[in-house]
Amino acid sequence: MKFNIALLAGDGIGPEVIDQAVKVSDAVAEKFGHEITWKPALTGAAAIDAVGEPYPDETHDICVASDAVLFGAIGHPRFDNDPSAKVRPEQGLLKMRKKLGLFANVRPTFTFPSLLDKSPLKKERIEGTDLVFLRELTGGIYFGEKGRRDDRETAYDNCVYTREEVQRLAKKGFELAMTRSKKLCCVDKANVLETSRLWRETVQAMEKDYPEVEVSYEFVDAVAMRLVQWPNSYDVLITENLFGDILTDEASVISGSMGLMPSASLGSNIGLFEPIHGSYPQAAGKNIANPMATVLSAAMMFENFGLADEGKAIRDVVNKALNEGIVTEDLSDGGKAYGTNEVGDWLAKNI
């Protein structure tokens, strides 16, 4: 097959980890007889610096003309402590999600047996953890009307959901649950929020279409607790945008493998694949960032094209590298630490 992949490296360590995912994807393409054309495009602070816009129109045009988007990371500290900044890298991310119709963010959290000791949690609490969050990504308080009034003394953010937005996300959740353990948890705050009550009633009404799926409803605060207590009691979780932002980050540290966690954002015919870690500006340019999360995001990309073997080839080579200690300093535990580039080369060569 032939693919065009938009390549949005972004900020901080983004370019370095993206490079490795390209190498590994090219190796997979060669092995399986595919052809990938990479289409680099600007985003984030890098795009603001170059053209004054975090998600320029040319970048969007390149994305929509591609079969998928491989994304690095965005964000730069110089914007974070300036509440009055007019243009922010994050706006680019939100605009991109919206314009590409990426309403479902898929974030798996799983354990690597060789890394169990890295977790802040006790081994017996995390063993076997293998859960997936489906976070709604183009609605809720992120996209509702926001602003100031009363001479800027009052600020507001509106959280809005339609039944249809809940349905399409929940449908993906039910379908995913059917391919796994048939357990679905709907996370909300229905004891307080009207949007959550809409979520809950919508999911309840869909239960009859998936009689095999066992659905539980839990409040977001309770999930924030149980995720730390018994992460391996969860399987598929669906939730709205902001709760998903908080809980997926919380979940990512549980396995101790945060630097290895990939994600996919789906919705339209173009999927976006990115590591869950951020732009980590302190590490930028030092050839120390762990590229594996981005490489595994490429695996999700192949899987989303229906190419399960290609995805598996990548997962296998990552496991092999972990077992053989071909890792960056975050995982080297006093042993030999490889550079970002060297890990990427090794993975590509061993595909």
Ligand X SMILES: CC(C)[C@H](C(=O)O)[C@@H](O)C(=O)O
- By CB under 8 A, residue 147 contacts a copy of itself: yes
Residue 98 backbone phi and psi in degrees, to 5: -65, -50
Which candidate in 55, 142, 234, 338 is catalytic?
A: 142
CA 3 to chain centre: 21
250 binds, options ligand X, a copy of itself, none, Cβ within 5 to 8 A by partner type: a copy of itself
Helix axes 220-229, 241-254, angle to 10 degrees: 10
Q: Which stretch binds a copy of itself (CB under 8 A): 59-67, 237-245, 315-323, 338-346?
A: 237-245
Answer yes or no: is 107 a known binding residue: yes
Q: Which of 95, 74, 72, 97 is nearest to 298 (CA)?
A: 72
Q: Which among 114, 133, 135, 134 has a CA at the least distance from the CA of 255?
A: 114
Q: Based on the residue annotation, tell me whether 189 is a catalytic residue of this protein.
A: yes
333 carries an active-site annotation: no
According to the binding rule CB under 8 A, does residue 192 interact with a copy of itself? yes
What whole-number distance in Å separates Cα of residue 336 and Cα of residue 19? 22
Please compute Rg for the chain using Cα positions.
Answer: 20
* Three-class SS of 57-101: HHHHHHHHCCCEEEEEECCCHHHHCCCCCCCCHHHHHHHHHHHCC
| Residues 289/87, Cβ–Cβ less than 8 Å | no
The residue with tokens 């990309």 is 301
Catalytic annotation, pick one of 23, 189, 234, 280 = 189
Q: Cβ 244 to ligand X, closest distance in Å?
A: 8
Residue nearest to ligand X (CB): 90
Whether 249 is catalytic is yes
Check if 221 is active-site: yes
77 binds, among a copy of itself, ligand X, none (CB under 5 to 8 A by kind): none
> How many binding residues for a copy of itself (CB under 8 A)?
67
User: Under the criterion CB under 8 A, does residue 221 sit at the interface with a copy of itself?
Assistant: yes
Residue 5 contacts by C-beta under 8 Å, 6 or more apart in sequence?
25, 36, 37, 38, 39, 66, 67, 68, 69, 70, 301
Least separation in angstroms between residue 301's CB and a copy of itself is 24
209 binds, among a copy of itself, ligand X, none (CB under 5 to 8 A by kind): none
Is 79 one of the binding residues for a copy of itself (CB under 8 A)? yes
| Binding site residues, a copy of itself, CB under 8 A | 75, 79-81, 83-84, 88, 90, 94, 120-122, 125, 141-142, 144, 146-148, 150, 153-164, 189-195, 197-198, 200-201, 204, 217, 219-222, 224-225, 227-230, 242-243, 245-250, 252-254, 258
Q: Which residues are annotated as a binding site for substrate?
A: 97, 107, 135, 221
Q: Give the catalytic positions in this structure.
A: 142, 189, 221, 245, 249
